C-alpha cells in the first residue's frame, strides 16, 4: 500500500469488483473516450479478470497496478506502473479517475506516489506518461505533477482501433 496525500493506493481485492465496475460504467463518457476498455457493459467479472491480470503481472515483476481509494475506503480510480524496460530502466505510468471523483487531486497524488515508487524503490531511471492528443484532463495531471514535457509522438497510441498522436512526458532520476 502507498499513501498518496489524501488517498491510498493498494492492490485490488476481489471485493473491489462491484465498486470498480460501477466506476467504469459511470465514466464511459469521460474515461471511455480515452481508454478503450472503459465500456458501458463493464462488469464485475471484467473487474475480477483485471485484478487477476494485475496480480499475475505483480508476481512476475512486470507491473504494479493499484486501485485509488479515499482514506475511508471509497473507490476513486486506478493507476499503475507497467511496460517495464529492464535494459534501459524505464516504465510507463498511467491513471484514471471515475467521473464522480474527478477534480479532487487523486490522479496527481497517485502520479507523484508512483513516480517516487519507480525512481526511489524500483530502480527506474525514467518514468514515462503517454497521453493521447486532446485528453486535456490527463495532460493537466502530468503538468501538475511536474513531469517534463518531451513532445508530440505521431501515431503513438492505439485508441478505439485507430492510431493517434500522443504527448510524451517523463520523470527522471536525479
Kindly report the CATH number assigned to the domain that includes residue 65. Answer: 3.40.630.30
The mean pLDDT of 16-20, rounded to a whole number, is 98
Contacts of 86 (CB under 8 A, 6+ apart): none
Q: Where are the beta strands (DSSP E) in the chain?
A: 2-4, 7-10, 64-70, 75-85, 90-97, 126-132, 148-159, 162-172
164/174 Cα distance (integer angstroms)? 31
73-93: pLDDT as tens digits: 999 999 999 999 999 999 999
In the chain, the number of structural domains is 1
In order of 14, 31, 98, the CA distances from 52 in angstroms are 9, 22, 21
Taking alpha carbons only, the member of 121, 120, 123, 93 closest to residue 109 is 93
35-68: pLDDT as tens digits: 999 999 999 999 999 999 999 999 999 999 999 9
pLDDT value of position 174: 79
Mean pLDDT of the chain, nearest integer: 97
Its domain, for residue 109, covers: 2-172
Q: Is the pLDDT of residue 71 over 90?
A: yes
- Cβ contact 115:126 at 8 Å: no
Amino acid at each position: 500500500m502507498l499513501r498518496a496525500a489524501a488517498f491510498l493506493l493498494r492492490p485490488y481485492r476481489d471485493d473491489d469488483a462491484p465498486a470498480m465496475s460501477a466506476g467504469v460504467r459511470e465514466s464511459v463518457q469521460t474515461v471511455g473516450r480515452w481508454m478503450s476498455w472503459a465500456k458501458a457493459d463493464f462488469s464485475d467479472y471484467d473487474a475480477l479478470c483485471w485484478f487477476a491480470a494485475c496480480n499475475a503481472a505483480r508476481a512476475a515483476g512486470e507491473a504494479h497496478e493499484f486501485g485509488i481509494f479515499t482514506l475511508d475506503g471509497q473507490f476513486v480510480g486506478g493507476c499503475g506502473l507497467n511496460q517495464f524496460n529492464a535494459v534501459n530502466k524505464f516504465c510507463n505510468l498511467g491513471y484514471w479517475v471515475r467521473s464522480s471523483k474527478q477534480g479532487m487531486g487523486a490522479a496527481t497524488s497517485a502520479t507523484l506516489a508512483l513516480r517516487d515508487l519507480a525512481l526511489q524503490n524500483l530502480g527506474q531511471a525514467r518514468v514515462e506518461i503517454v497521453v493521447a492528443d486532446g485528453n486535456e484532463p490527463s495532460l493537466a495531471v502530468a503538468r501538475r505533477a511536474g513531469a517534463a514535457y518531451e513532445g508530440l509522438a505521431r501515431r503513438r497510441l492505439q485508441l478505439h482501433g485507430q492510431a493517434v498522436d500522443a504527448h510524451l512526458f517523463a520523470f527522471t532520476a536525479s
